[in-house]
Structure 1
Amino acid sequence: MTFSADVAGLYRFLAQQEAKVIAGAMSGLHDATDRLLADSRNEAPLKTGTLRMTAGKRVKNENGHIYGEVFYSATEEAGGVRFNYALRVHEMGEYKNPTTPGTRPKFLSRPLRTNERLYQRFVNDAIRRALR
């Protein structure tokens, strides 16, 4: 006795579901990174505005690995040497006495930790919507 099954339809269905999950994850990551960018900009130092103006975000799908990032890329020069001002302000405590209320060091990592579940919910909800 021989048994055979045509699973081509199943493979097509699974491929469609995979595409929906990826599209949903991308959409949710865009929502999450938009929110993190806004949250972190509100806390970033505002002395000259340069730091906030260099903030950005990107969401990528590279071979099925989906990720989102928020970044700050301000650089400055001191003594003829260029350095990453954004990193210095965020990590090294160069920003001790804010002149603008509500701004603080760790302006990116603090909202990420505080709102991590919210950002995850953005992604989860978008995937659920995509699978409907």
Structure 2
Amino acid sequence: MARNSVTFDFNIITKALDRTKAEVQASGVVGVQDAVDDLLATSRDEAPLDEGTLRMTAFNEVSADGEEVVGTVTFSAVNQSESGERYNYALRLHEMGSFKNPTTAGTKPKYLERPLKANAKRYNRMIADAIRKGLR
């Protein structure tokens, strides 16, 4: 009896897929970082400016965990009321309906949410472009 057999080593494909997955994630981190850098700059420009505390406390961060890449922009100013109670100044100003007397022209409530919504498609393109570039 004659026998012929074919052997295929899946390790080559598995290694290539693992490498590609790592490259996609690394490129995704680059794209998300680009997007949150832009969001931070844009939102800082729209954030109220009185003493500069709010803008100075803003920062961004990108983390990769498993199959997820998360970019965060944070404003973390805390202030003290006349009664001595501490409150989240950044959140209060962000959620105000409107500023009666903005100290700087062009500043407005929703200084973080507004630019995120307005630029969401562009940020998605930035991330996709970074991934495509990373896979070349």
- TM-score of the superposed pair, with normalisation by structure 2: 0.91
2:110 paired with 1:100: no
Q: CA deviation at 1:65?
A: 1.8
Q: CA deviation at 1:3?
A: 6.0
Q: CA deviation at 1:59?
A: 0.1
Q: CA deviation at 1:98?
A: 1.2
Letter of the 1:115 counterpart: N
2:104 paired with 1:121: no
Instruction: Give the Cα separation in 2 of the matches to 1:63 and 1:114.
Output: 29
Most deviating of 49-58 and 63-72: 63-72
Alignment check: 8 A CA contact 1:40 1:108 kept: yes
Instruction: Give the Cα separation in 2 of the matches to 1:42 and 1:107.
Output: 8
What RMSD in Å do the two structures reach over aligned CA positions?
Answer: 1.5
Letter of the 1:92 counterpart: M
Q: CA deviation at 1:36?
A: 0.2
- TM-score of the superposed pair, with normalisation by structure 1: 0.94
2:17 paired with 1:19: no
Q: CA deviation at 1:80?
A: 1.6
Structure 2 portions without partners, runs of 5+: none
1:115 counterpart SS class: helix
- 1:47 is aligned to 50
Instruction: Give the Cα separation in 1 of the matches to 2:94 and 2:100.
Output: 11
Instruction: Give the Cα separation in 1 of the matches to 2:8 and 2:121.
Output: 43
Letter of the 1:126 counterpart: A
Taking the TM superposition and a 5 Å limit, the aligned residue runs for 1:78-97 are 78=81, 79-93=83-97, 95-97=99-101
Larger-Rg structure: 2
Most deviating of 28-37 and 87-96: 87-96
Q: May I ask how many residue pairs the two structures share in their alignment?
A: 132
Letter of the 2:96 counterpart: M
Most deviating of 97-106 and 36-45: 97-106
- 1:28 is aligned to 31
Letter of the 1:65 counterpart: E
Instruction: Give the Cα separation in 1 of the matches to 2:72 and 2:54.
Output: 16
Alignment check: 8 A CA contact 1:88 1:94 kept: no
Structure 1 portions without partners, runs of 5+: none
